[in-house]
Amino acid sequence: MKEVEIYCHNTQSRHAYPLGTSLLEISKDLDIQLKNTVCGAIVNHQVRELSFCLVKPKQIEFFDVAHPDGIRMYVRSLVFVLYVAVKEVFPHVSLRIRKGISNGYFCELAGFGRDITEPDIQLIKKEMKRLIEQDIPFVKKGVPTQDAVDHLVREGLDEKAQLFEQKGHLFTSLYFLNDLGNYFYGHLLPSTGYITNFDLVKFFDGLLLRIPKPENFDVLQDAPVQKKLFEIFQEHKNWAQILDVDTVANLNEYTLQKKGGYIIKISEALHEKKIAEIANQIHERNGDVRVVLVAGPSASGKTTFSKRLGVQLAVNGLRPYQISLDDYFVNREHTPRDEQGNYDFEALEAIDVPYFNQQLLDLMKGKEVQLPKFDFHRGQRYLNGDRLRLRPGEILIIEGIHGMNPRLLPMIDEKNTFKIFISALTQISMDEHTHISTSDNRLIRRMIRDSKYRSYRASETIKRWPSVRRGEERNIFPFQENADVMFNSATLYELGVLKKYAEPLLKTVLENEPEYMEAMRLLKFLSYFKPIDDEEIPPTSLLREFLGGSSFLY
């Protein structure tokens, strides 16, 4: 009998198994014990389901649902269960997963015909729990693509079917739960019984699918009501639907018809209109506003937005002066450290808040101040002779991640500030049931910018990203609802443009690098987009901050 050798990182041991042994069989034989139930494995730096069978020597590391890829498996599987439950309870209703919000997933029931009630929600939840209790396997089947398309059309999943057709593959895969087939662009759990905790609650005009905390699957994540964020999502969703570009397949159709330039023009015009409206709001505050704070997560386009806002404020007769909060960092020896002992540059304590406030107070009193600069190489703040005095009609635009944090300006009257939160809230979905993560959108932006301006490899950006995200979750997102206004820096077309820049970078990640599996996931994601030429993107576009070719100086 032929055998294959494996090295298991969990047990730090080598073993030989018969050819064709599944990961599930190996995990049971090795008695892999993790905090939660084992749900998948990293095999030679690629994510695999437990049904995966070995035919060659492999390095294996089993993971549970708390692992980032385990959570993705959990959410995909939970959405599949929700889909099947809705089909059973309300056969003529179409489930749509619109966006990630409030630490969950916002869902709509298209064709419901009336307001959703609590009894309706309880019926769906009861059916979901029944499916979970039955511990039904998720069965993956390879089928001819045309057969998959026909099946999806019969199920009313036309957007998914259209995307399968556009891929042009001879064969593809579908997952089945009982007789219902679906696809979620990634791996699923072995069976419904692996789903241990969830909730479904009323949320605005739809539902919120709630999921557990990664660190404790017995407890659901908090679900703060993010009204402003929801409104900005809805506004752009309406635009996407009006233009018929609310899914990847729709966007691809514009590209195939050589109409990508039209979507670029519309998207850029919408940005310009929104920035002008924000400038008008600031101007209408009767001269009270002296400080405009612009905050947002990494790769949201804060710098270009601030510059474009400055142009629109000038149109309103105001004279803007831009300051970066980064220039008020404390010296390196005073920088706080995180749990791992590394410098925590994203903590508010990394900013010299008293010094920053005193300078703002002096400026608002008409005094002249000498502005600091921060030397990131030496880790020291210094004065380079730049001086500023605010005169009538002049206004400060201050860019920095802490702009929404109420502890940033304890000495400044709130009526003198205007807060803007900016993020790249992806406007299109993969299809009916798969939203596009705004984090993935920003990671791809940052990877392109890091390569172009900092000579970082894609693997370096991917490696740093979890730390960046943790900092955002602590220091940025909890305060976003404090904004006077939110701005969505994403465009309808951008992933089609970013594709041709990102794919070559992702392909440089080597198979023996830990970042390989994330690079492969992003490559698969981008493979569904048809490339869009960027020649019609104007030099003032926020996307130029990442691609190059901007007419602004940075």
Domain boundaries, the chain: 3-64, 70-220, 227-547
Are 225 and 101 within 8 A, CB to CB?
A: no
The residues with which 388 forms a beta bridge, in sequence order, are 369
Q: 394: exposed, middle or buried (C-beta count within 10 Å: 0-12, 13-18, 19+)?
A: middle
State the first-to-last Cα distance of the chain, in angstroms, to the nearest integer.
64
The residues with which 204 forms a beta bridge, in sequence order, are none
Are 178 and 136 within 8 A, CB to CB?
A: yes
Helices (H), 107-222: 118-133, 145-154, 158-167
Number of other CB atoms surrounding residue 86 within 10 Å: 21
Residue matched to tokens 């002096």? 362
pLDDT given for residue 167 in this prediction: 92
> How many alpha carbons lie under 13 Å from residue 545 in its C-beta half-sphere?
21
The residues with which 422 forms a beta bridge, in sequence order, are 487
pLDDT tens digits in sequence order for the chain, 554 residues long: 789 999 999 999 999 999 999 999 999 999 999 999 999 999 999 999 999 999 999 999 999 999 999 999 999 999 999 999 999 999 999 999 988 999 999 999 999 999 999 999 999 999 999 999 999 999 999 999 999 999 999 999 999 999 999 998 999 999 999 999 999 999 999 999 999 999 999 999 999 999 999 989 999 999 999 999 988 888 877 777 777 898 999 999 999 999 999 999 999 999 999 999 999 999 999 789 999 999 999 999 999 999 999 999 999 999 999 999 999 999 999 999 888 888 888 899 999 999 999 999 999 999 999 999 999 889 999 998 899 999 988 999 999 999 999 999 999 999 999 999 999 998 899 999 999 999 999 999 999 999 999 999 999 999 999 989 988 999 999 999 999 999 999 999 999 999 999 999 999 999 999 999 999 999 999 999 999 999 999 999 999 999 999 999 88
DSSP, collapsed to helix, strand or coil, labels residue 243 as coil
Residue 34, C-beta contacts closer than 8 angstroms, at least 6 positions apart: 10, 62, 63, 64
pLDDT given for residue 235 in this prediction: 82
Using CA atoms, how far apart are residues 97 and 428, in angstroms rounded to an integer? 11
Taking CB atoms within 8 Å and a gap of at least 24, the contacts of 340-349 are: 342/467, 344/471, 346/401, 346/468, 346/471, 346/472, 346/474, 346/475, 346/476, 347/471, 347/474, 347/475, 348/402, 348/405, 348/407, 348/408, 348/475
Query: Is 3-64 in CATH node 3.10.20.30?
Result: yes
**What per-residue string of b and e applies to 130-153 under the rule 16 or more CB within 10 Å gives b?**
ebbeeebbbeeeeeebeebbebbe
Amino acid present at 497:
V
DSSP code, position 318: -
Q: 228: exposed, middle or buried (C-beta count within 10 Å: 0-12, 13-18, 19+)?
A: middle
Query: What token pair was written down for 520?
Result: 């492969």
The residues with which 320 forms a beta bridge, in sequence order, are 395
**What order do you get walking across the sheet with 171-177 strand by strand?**
139-144, 171-177, 180-182
Using CA atoms, how far apart are residues 320 and 333, in angstroms rounded to an integer? 33
Computed over every residue of the chain, the mean pLDDT equals 94
DSSP, collapsed to helix, strand or coil, labels residue 328 as helix
pLDDT given for residue 533 in this prediction: 95
Are 346 and 401 within 8 A, CB to CB?
A: yes
Using CA atoms, how far apart are residues 256 and 245, in angstroms rounded to an integer? 13
Using CA atoms, how far apart are residues 554 and 526, in angstroms rounded to an integer? 29
Are 36 and 197 within 8 A, CB to CB?
A: no
CATH topology of domain 70-220: Threonyl-tRNA Synthetase; Chain A, domain 2 (3.30.980)
* CATH of range 227-547; options 3.30.1340.10, 3.10.129.10, 3.40.50.300, 3.30.1160.10: 3.40.50.300
> How many alpha carbons lie under 13 Å from residue 303 in its C-beta half-sphere?
14
DSSP, collapsed to helix, strand or coil, labels residue 158 as helix
